Structure 1
Amino acid sequence: MKEQVKNTLSTFWFYFTLLICFLFLIPLPLILVHRAKWHIYIYRLTKFWVGIFLKINFLPLEIEYRFKPNRKQVYVFTPNHTSYLDILLLMFAVKQFFIFVGKSSISKVPMAGYVYKKMHITVDRSKVRSKYNVLEKSKIAVKRRRSVVIFPEGGILTQAPPAMTPFKEGAFRLAIEERVPIVPVTMPYNWIAMPDKSFPPFIHHRLKVIFHEPIETEGLTVEHIPYLKQKVFEIIQKEINQHQRAL
């Protein structure tokens, strides 16, 4: 009973502070989003906002880089995806100026969806043409020296978190064709803190983001996509399994 009350209070505080922070933050991005050269300021503002949000929710977040990130290097980041919390943590943890590739339904969120659609790349996975356009837009972003964050599972699809579903090929095709290193990213606890539900509760739990060593794609061709998919999948799933055993 005591644990249930604690989780209810945590959930209320989480959504209350999320709403307050959102209302405080959103006016400026709604102005800045109209000029591409101003998007960097939205990126910095969002990182600041998420940092404050984590503090007022007393969320212990550990960010582990297993390599020394080069801010001038473009990467394709490939995180596992089990929770809506994933996007918040990545906004805070990724050091590069980056864009997300995310599902088109996010653009329907009032105000925030408009900013997301203007800054990031949305995909309707039910349409082949949309998936092709996403790849082309991602290539343009890379050429403009923007890193890209793509959830290789294609969404929150797993029915047995934290086990992942098979990866789609988009992120790996992009990395190979543009000769950009892939950085596997593991978030082992988000599925516990914020399960994938229609109105997910928030359970206070320590959080962690692990950036694995980059995998170079120089010299690879599209024929190596299955190999690259499997290698990244194994890196992330192995890390998830290790953290599971430690719970």
Structure 2
Amino acid sequence: MTATSTAWDRIVSGFIWVLAGGFLVLSLSLLTILYLFVKPDRVQPLERLYCKLQLAFTFNKQTHRVHPDVDPETQYIFIQNHSSHLDHVAMYTATPHFKQGIELESHFDYPFYGWFMKARGTIPVPKDRSGALDALRRALRAEVDAGHSILGFPEGHRTTTGRVGPFYDGLFRIAIELGVPIVPVAVTGLFEVLHKGSLVIRPCHEIRVYVGQPIGTEGLTEDDVACLRDRVRGVIAGEVDAYLALVD
């Protein structure tokens, strides 16, 4: 399900890019400098404000629905579907947790965004996938020891159809090893706003963030990885498919 863009869409998108793009560069530059002096988890209010304003500048509405069992004081690995470059911005304000992100190592070379990620302590996934899981395991353990939650996208790339793709096992394997509960997160509406293969940003959509019931990992073993992965994916895909059934 890929929306086609009209000339009017491209004109409106150009205006949004000037507004939102300028805000993005300014905000990331200021936060990057701030992180040189203050730990990122100490400036949560500013990060949340940035996320809210970044979405507001795309002229789209956002709503959150959070399961009551999600505890603000508990560390989680938040597992989210990946449909847009704006995914993390939409989800970040849904809960008060400090969430450390995970990004491909190559993305750290991007101007402004890459500098921001390095300063914030974002976890890089090495280009050499043979050692990626061990590196990811060490990094996630350090974040959990620091009292942080994790935000990850186990599809590994943005969807090209709007639907949820297959999940890699890595994050689920590590969640079991660390004994950290997983929270499934489904974001809908962003694929229509800005999807892979297009630079057109479309306004006037409703972006919905569903933060599901936590799923415990204590007592699980290596044999439970696939079952846990499929259970989490089922929750997320169910939300996304229900949304697509309404808008198709």
For normalisation by structure 1, the TM-score amounts to 0.89
For structure 1, which segment, 23-32 or 223-232, has the greater mean C-alpha deviation from structure 2 after superposition? 23-32
Which ranges in structure 1 are unaligned for 5 or more consecutive residues? none
Displacement, 1:244?
0.8
Write the mapping of 1:213-228 to structure 2, written as runs, cut at 5 A.
213-228=213-228
Find the counterpart in structure 2 of residue 131 from structure 1: 133
Find the counterpart in structure 1 of residue 62 from structure 2: 61
Cα distance in 1 for residues equivalent to 2:25 and 2:165: 35
Contact 2:76–2:182 (Cα < 8 Å) also in 1? yes
Q: 1:225 to 1:52 in 2, by over 3 A?
A: same
1:168 pairs with 2:168: yes
Which ranges in structure 2 are unaligned for 5 or more consecutive residues? none
Cα distance in 2 for residues equivalent to 1:59 and 1:184: 23
Cα distance in 2 for residues equivalent to 1:213 and 1:229: 15
Secondary structure of the residue aligned to 1:187 is strand
Q: 1:43 to 1:62 in 2, by over 3 A?
A: same
For normalisation by structure 2, the TM-score amounts to 0.89
Find the counterpart in structure 2 of residue 115 from structure 1: 116
Contact 1:153–1:166 (Cα < 8 Å) also in 2? yes
Cα distance in 2 for residues equivalent to 1:233 and 1:68: 19
Find the counterpart in structure 2 of residue 203 from structure 1: 202
Find the counterpart in structure 2 of residue 180 from structure 1: 180
1:50 pairs with 2:51: yes
Cα distance in 2 for residues equivalent to 1:153 and 1:77: 13
Cα distance in 1 for residues equivalent to 2:29 and 2:61: 28
Find the counterpart in structure 2 of residue 233 from structure 1: 233
Displacement, 1:69?
3.0
Displacement, 1:51?
1.3
CA shift digits 1:70-109 (9 cap, x unpaired): 2210000000002112122123334201101111222112
For structure 1, which segment, 129-138 or 73-82, has the greater mean C-alpha deviation from structure 2 after superposition? 129-138
Amino acid across the alignment from 1:211: V
Displacement, 1:126?
4.2
Contact 1:125–1:131 (Cα < 8 Å) also in 2? no
User: Across the two proteins, how many residue pairs are aligned to each other?
Assistant: 241
% of aligned pairs identical?
A: 23
Displacement, 1:68?
4.3
| Aligned counterpart for 2:28 among listed residues 26, 29, 32 | 26
**Superposition RMSD on alpha carbons, in Å?**
1.9
Cα distance in 1 for residues equivalent to 2:93 and 2:11: 24
Displacement, 1:14?
2.4
Write the mapping of 1:135-150 to structure 2, written as runs, cut at 5 A.
135-150=137-152
